Chain A
């Protein structure tokens, strides 16, 4: 399968920890990347590779993978973390890029 599946919406209480997941067969072969997107803005890379953060990204963000499921964890969620989160990876053939449907994170 070349698809990635994400829960459409997740909520978290302010200051608590939340995990956003991304499932797909290609994740057994390729790492997921995670992007944060706020309304009207372009996506921003927050996690890539095994668990790497680009410069300037808060250490509240971390990533992991188990089997066919990649996870983005936000530890101590803040109001500014409210956004859509998209995962992607190569597809199973390794020649195309696929995205999950995105998860809308609400910080309560």
Chain B
């Protein structure tokens, strides 16, 4: 069974930093591209970042480029999202998601999410 478990969310002040983690199991993690997607409670989904299987390629949404960094540790079956210079509009549930091997950019599994609240 594919399992993605996020952690690291919490309350942080504007301008602060936070590191999210996602522990993966139930599949060959080192073979898959991974994504982070966020959702303001009650609103739609917004793609944040994507990383290829060996960590050599990263893409970011314009709204987080230069502030967020996606990384992974294939030995630990984990993907991370380092978030700096946080703003109120970054408040959201952050989901870790797996990209299917069937098609590029096709997300087939999601974690349950971790809530990040940016507030003073």
Which residues from chain A sit less than 8 Å from chain B, CB to CB? Answer: 30-31, 33, 35, 41-45, 48-49, 54, 86, 88-90, 95-102
Number of A-B contacts (CB under 8 A): 59
Known contacts being A45-B108, A54-B108, A97-B50, is A88 close to B59, with CB within 8 Å?
no
Asked whether B59 lies within 8 Å of A42 as measured between CB atoms, the reply is no
CA distance A94 to B37 in the complex (A): 17
Q: How many of B's residues come within 8 Å of A, CB to CB?
A: 24
Q: How far is the CA of A46 from the CA of B109 in the complex (A)?
A: 11
Residues A88 and B45 in contact in the complex (CB < 8 Å), given A42-B113, A54-B108, A96-B59: yes
Complex Cα distance, B116 from A50, in Å, reads 35
What is the CA–CA distance of A48 and B106 in the complex, to the nearest angstrom? 8
Taken residue by residue from 36 to 66, chain B's Cβ proximity to chain A (1 for < 8 Å, 0 otherwise) reads as: 0100000111110010000000010100000
The answer to whether B45 touches A49, judged by C-beta atoms less than 8 angstroms apart, is: no
For the complex formed, measure the closest distance between the CB of A22 and the CB atoms of chain B, giving whole angstroms. Answer: 11
Residue of A43, A90, A101 touching B105 (CB-CB under 8 A): A90
Q: A43-B95, A88-B47 are in contact. List 8 more A-B contacts (CB 8 A).
A: A35-B45, A45-B106, A45-B109, A48-B100, A49-B103, A95-B59, A97-B47, A101-B44
Q: Which of B55-108 contact A (CB under 8 A)?
A: 59, 61, 95, 100, 102-108
